[in-house]
Amino acid sequence: METHMMTIGLPRAMLYYRCRALWHTFFEELGAEVVVSSPTDREILDQGTALAIDESCLSLKIYLGHVRALVGRCDYILVPRVSSFGRHRNMCTRFEALPDLVRNVFRDSGQQFLSYEVDELFKKDEPGAFLELGRSLGHPAKAVKRAYKQAKKAELAHHKARVQKQELLFKREGIKVLIAAHSYVAEDPYMGRSVTDYLKQVGVIPLRADLVDREAASKRSRELSPTCKWEISREILGGIAMHQGDVDGIILLSAFPCGPDAMVNELITRRVKGVPILNLVLDSQSGTAGVETRLESFIDIIRFKEGKL
């Protein structure tokens, strides 16, 4: 008799871009099959937009579209609640609301969801959260701890490899532009990917502020803001502090409407001097043509400044 392998759905949005190595390894180590929704396309965006309330940010709308694409295709869909990693280390409140929101939106779908909660301000740390998660799937504590250890190793190695790959790009000749964005904004095909693609197409080297050593970046972020309370924004600020002298321009890329980015990007614009900055806010209506026009003039400004135009 064929035994059913448990399938876990991972929406390819929001924290997936940060945690994919962690999640894939953890579930695979525990013998589950992982199903990932396909990259964002028009249908996913439209479905997500229809499910979300108007005030939702574009990232959240896209996220709901990805959950929708997985409904009925797996035993569980993973929707974690990640609130904080300690003092001044908060996640945006949308991450806090995610499991409740998703369960509510899909309450009639018959789909089961799986969650874990990280909120270190309330003594809920990640190892404990994963232990509970694995135990809830019926695995013994020892196996779960082993899977988490492997998953953490994979996560660190994955990030380190990406950081090292980018370090090489900093050494290349040519115009370099640092993109300051949440990973899920920067990498989503319907958000930041078109920006990176465009830059490459016109011979500019795109770099990412968040592809840096996270601990070091968090410390360096104090040079730009000693009080920023959002974990990911701190890493981005630190990445800018580390690399502002190595690039010809900075693009602040965010999803509309984003509370943390509105504040942090304003602060960056005021405190980072001597390098051209472009503030790009993407919504579902942005369209590539409008974005390309703004990118084109930004690159012209850089080239003009450097006497290359």
Query: What is the tally of helices (H) and strands (E) in the chain?
Result: 12, 10
**At its nearest, how many Å lie between ligand SF4 and the CB of residue 182?**
5
Residues in the chain: 309
- Within 155-174, the residues that bind ligand SF4 by CB under 6 A are none
| Nearest of 260, 255, 256 to residue 237 by alpha carbon | 260
Binding flag, residue 149, ligand SF4 (CB under 6 A): no
Quick note: the x/- pattern for ligand SF4 over 33-72, rule CB under 6 A, is: ------------------------x-xx------------
Nearer to ligand SF4 (CB atom), residue 248 or residue 261: 261
Q: Please check whether residue 170 is in contact with residue 243, taking contact to mean a CB–CB distance below 8 angstroms.
A: yes
Q: How far is the CB of 148 from ligand SF4 (least distance, A)?
A: 25
Which is nearer to ligand SF4, 25 or 83 (by Cβ)? 83
* Residue 259 within binding range of ligand SF4, rule CB under 6 A: yes
Determine the interface stretch with ligand SF4 among 134-142, 170-178, 209-217, 253-261 (rule: CB under 6 A): 253-261
CA–CA dist 219, 199 (Å, integer) = 30
Residues 284/41, Cβ–Cβ less than 8 Å: no
252 is an interface residue for ligand SF4 by CB under 6 A: no
CB 114 within 8 A of CB 10: no
**Cβ–Cβ < 8 Å for 48, 62:** yes
d(CA 94, CA 89): 15
Cα(55)–Cα(13) distance, rounded to whole angstroms?
Answer: 18
Q: Which string of x and - marks every residue 81-120 that binds ligand SF4 (by CB under 6 A)?
A: -----------x-x--------------------------
CA 124 to the chain's CA centroid = 22
Distances (CA, A) of 132 to 117, 139, 141: 9, 10, 9
- The residue (of 177 and 236) whose beta carbon lies closer to ligand SF4 is 236
Does 181 interact with ligand SF4 (rule: CB under 6 A)? no
Could you tell me the two tokens for 89? 């280390």
Residue 258 binds ligand SF4, judged by CB under 6 A: yes
Nearer to ligand SF4, 30 or 195 (CB): 195
CA–CA gap between residue 136 and residue 249 (Å, rounded): 48
CB atoms within 10 A of CB 123: 7
Number of residues that bind ligand SF4 (CB under 6 A): 11
Quick check: 182 binds ligand SF4 (CB under 6 A)?
A: yes
The least distance separating ligand SF4 from the CB of residue 90, rounded to whole angstroms, comes to 10
Which one, 134 or 192, has the nearer CB to ligand SF4? 192
Tell me which residues touch ligand SF4 (CB under 6 A): 57, 59-60, 92, 94, 182, 255, 258-261
